[in-house]
Amino acid sequence: MVFRGRLQECQNGVVVGEDAMTRTGSTYGMTMTAPAPEKTEVVDPVTAADVPWVTIVWNDPVNLMSYVTWVLQNHYGYSRKKSEKLMMDVHTQGRAVVANGTREAMEADTEALHGYGLWATFQKDA
């Protein structure tokens, strides 16, 4: 950047800009180069903080395994094989993560699963 203006000085006497005028036959001017911009990744803080949420289905003594499989197939559109695997995780491990996404989506999924009578919660993924 070339400053073209009147002679300017800071309080400490350092020249920060000079006119492109001649003084005893020479031209005064100051050329400054801006530093190269740093490469930074632009991340929306709302989206970034909101992505790692999961919906968990918990084992319960009420619902049949076939019913849990049916709910997962109908609500999420999962294949029978995937639904049965998730159902077996619920049955053997006591819980299974059935979906992930934004907090609002996982909250809506949890409410929908409650509507089917399943025990479900949502939480921030670790």
Distance, in Å, from the CA atom of 53 to the CA atom of 100, rounded to the nearest integer, reads 6
Q: Are 121 and 97 in contact (CB under 8 A)?
A: no
When comparing pLDDT for 118 and 29, which is higher? 118
- DSSP three-state, residue 10: coil
pLDDT of residue 44 exceeding 90, the answer is: no
Contacts for 42 with CB less than 8 Å, ≥ 6 apart:
none
Beta bridge partner(s), residue 96: 57
Q: List pLDDT tens digits, range 81-119.
A: 999 999 999 999 999 999 999 999 999 999 999 999 999
Query: DSSP for 32-80?
Result: --PPPPPP-----HHHHHHS-EEEEEE--SSS-HHHHHHHHHHHH---H
Contacts for 79 with CB less than 8 Å, ≥ 6 apart:
73
pLDDT of residue 17 exceeding 60, the answer is: no
Can you give the pLDDT at residue 102?
Answer: 95
Local confidence band at 126 (pLDDT 50, 70, 90 cut-offs):
confident
pTM of the model: 0.61
Q: Which domains, ranges and CATH numbers included, belong to the chain? A: 2-31 (no CATH), 47-124 (3.30.1390.10)
Distance, in Å, from the CA atom of 122 to the CA atom of 52, rounded to the nearest integer, reads 11
